[in-house]
Amino acid sequence: MTDLAQGTWVVVADGEKALFLFNKTDGQDPYLEVFREEEQDNPKDIDQSANRPGRMPDNGQGQRSALDDTDWHELAKDRFASELSDILYKQAHKGRFEKLVIAAAPATLGELRKQLHQEVSDKLIGEIPKVLTNHPVDEIEDIVKEELAA
């Protein structure tokens, strides 16, 4: 069982929104309190794309192939993970937390893993590949406790 000690930070993220929570009690009966929220304005890809996907000539006469358009929405999610890892690094470097749990959408968690600085990774005591950003805090407490006990 991982110790969700008093003072442990729990970061709940989904690629567009992140909640920073602080455990005020212990791992047996965690009491998480939101102390910071980060949110990114990330409209759907169709709202961000300016043009139709491009086309390029093929080898055959008069033939053209479609090109994939950039998925700006996914790109912004990746950028958000990078920004989140920067925030965590700055806070870890200042000694603001000793233990960290990250609960994030699987894709966001994967992107975060690639971006986390070693100083943050050393404090990471648990990862939860779930989207919890729209859950009430008391449900987040229960899910985090249950996941870390497994």
Residue 74: partners with Cβ closer than 8 Å, 6 or more residues away: 45
Q: pTM to 2 decimals? A: 0.79
Which of 141, 145, 148 has its CA nearest to residue 34? 141
Nearest CA-CA partner of 69 in 45, 41, 37, 100: 45
CATH class of 9-40+69-149: alpha beta
Nearest to 134 by CA among 12, 8, 5, 4: 12
Question: Does residue 46 register a pLDDT over 60?
Answer: no
pLDDT score, position 42? 47
52-97 confidence digits (pLDDT tens): 555 556 666 666 665 555 566 566 767 888 899 999 999 999 999 9
Indicate whether 27 pLDDT > 90.
no
Share of the chain above pLDDT 90, in %: 59
16/74: higher pLDDT: 16
Question: Tell me, what's the pLDDT at 63?
Answer: 65
Q: Enumerate the domain spans of the chain.
A: 9-40+69-149
List, in sequence order, the alpha helices (H) in 1-105: 45-48, 72-93
The mean predicted confidence, pLDDT, of the chain is 84
pLDDT greater than 50 at residue 2:
yes
Q: Which two tokens stand for residue 30?
A: 């965690």
| Predicted pLDDT of residue 95 | 96
Q: What's the start-to-end Cα distance of the chain, in Å?
A: 7
Rounded to whole angstroms, the Cα distance separating 100 from 97 reads 7
Q: Do 15 and 77 meet the contact criterion of CB atoms below 8 Å apart?
A: yes
- Residue 16 has a pLDDT of 85
